[in-house]
Amino acid sequence: MTQASKNPRVICTLLFVFLAGAVVGALSMRIGLHERLHRTVSAAVKPPIAEVGNDPLLQRLKVQLNLSDEQAKAVARVISDYRQYYLNLQDQLDDIRSSGHDRIVEVLNEEQRHQFEKMAGELQTPAK
């Protein structure tokens, strides 16, 4: 081992630089870089605000809770925002799954890749 690798200050400095980079990367992705890097159709097309007449959930809430028209419009906006948020989360989960899959495949040899792809296909196919 070299003298530098035995020095705890050097190791702590390298660890700090690595962690600082990880934090900056995570924050930049959280702030909005992720959306710009991974634009999807569902993120680009925002669904219209649900209207009282065509959303079964909203219709049920309006009837059972006796919502006024103003309340129904506000609830429609909340439902619409929630649906958009859910779609964005689904897109992020798909990106995470794909990234994990790709990282695993990089480590495997050709025979292992073939077996892994077979296993991954079995996981995606719903059991009867």
Say what the pLDDT of residue 70 is. Answer: 93
Q: Is residue 20 in some structural domain? A: yes
Local mean pLDDT, 10-residue blocks, the chain (128 residues): 70 84 76 61 48 75 91 90 89 88 90 88 65
Q: Is residue 116 in some structural domain? A: no
Total of domains in the chain: 1
Question: Cβ distance 58 to 72 under 8 Å?
Answer: yes
Q: Is residue 107 in some structural domain? A: no
Phi, psi of 49 (to 5 degrees): -65, 135
Say what the pLDDT of residue 109 is. Answer: 92
Q: Is residue 17 in some structural domain? A: yes
Take residue 79 and report the two structure tokens written for it: 């439902």
Q: Is residue 57 in some structural domain? A: no
pTM attached to this predicted model = 0.43
Q: Is residue 27 in some structural domain? A: yes
- Helices 69-107 and 110-124, axial angle in degrees (round to 10): 160
Q: Is residue 120 in some structural domain? A: no
Residue numbers of the domain that contains 16 = 1-37
What is the rounded radius of gyration, in angstroms, for the C-alpha atoms of the chain?
Answer: 24
Q: Is residue 111 in some structural domain? A: no
